[in-house]
Amino acid sequence: MRLAKDISGWLYEATIGENRAMLVEQGELVKIRVERSTGAVRAGAIVDAKFVRQWVAGRSGIILLDTGQESLLQPLPKGVTEGAQVRVEIIREALIEKTGQAKRAKARPAKDAAETTSGPTLLDQISAGDQPVRTVHAHEDDLFAELG
């Protein structure tokens, strides 16, 4: 289905349990992004974690985040030992592959003096681009439903 040709940019909707964004170009759906409210750490977050164990000796390891979620840390900071606190940047959120296999979030050591942050939301991410963002509200026409 198509919207009016004059609609282009991101359409953003915050709903219960998830936030959705659709990129529309000249009334055609180009991309959909969904951010679910799972409590999982977001990509771009800077967090403190506990180093649990080495995964590949000297190269990568498993860390435990405050959320209880495990993450793969690569590369390992020099001299890190089991039980040590490390500040990391999440570079990929945890995900479930199409086959159903769960993959841990992926992290790297944070830059020196990096402040902790929860990372950018979906709205932050799409607003940082060069496309306009229009927030859609529940009391307006359901543009998401119109495009399926």
Band (pLDDT 50/70/90 cuts) for residue 1 is very low
Looking at the structure, give the CATH architecture of the domain made up of residues 46-109: Beta Barrel (2.40)
Quote the CA–CA distance of 130 and 25 in Å, as a whole number.
Answer: 13
DSSP for residue 145? H
Q: Could you check whether the bond before residue 132 is cis, i.e. omega within 30 degrees of 0?
A: no
Least confident of 15-24, 57-66, 111-120, 131-140: 131-140
User: In CATH, what number does 9-38+122-146 get?
Assistant: 3.30.420.300
Task: Supply angle C-alpha 75, 48, 91, rounded to 5.
Answer: 50
Q: Do 9-38+122-146 and 46-109 share a fold?
A: no
State mean pLDDT over 52-66.
94
Domain boundaries, the chain: 9-38+122-146, 46-109
Please tell me the pTM assigned to this model.
0.78
Give tens-digit pLDDT for 97-117.
Answer: 899 999 999 999 999 889 999
In this structure, are residues 127 and 2 in contact, taking their beta carbons and an 8 Å threshold? Answer: no
Q: What is the pLDDT of residue 27?
A: 82
CB neighbours of 61 closer than 8 A, spacing ≥ 6?
A: 51, 52, 53, 54, 55, 72, 73, 74, 76, 80
* pLDDT beyond 70 at 43: yes
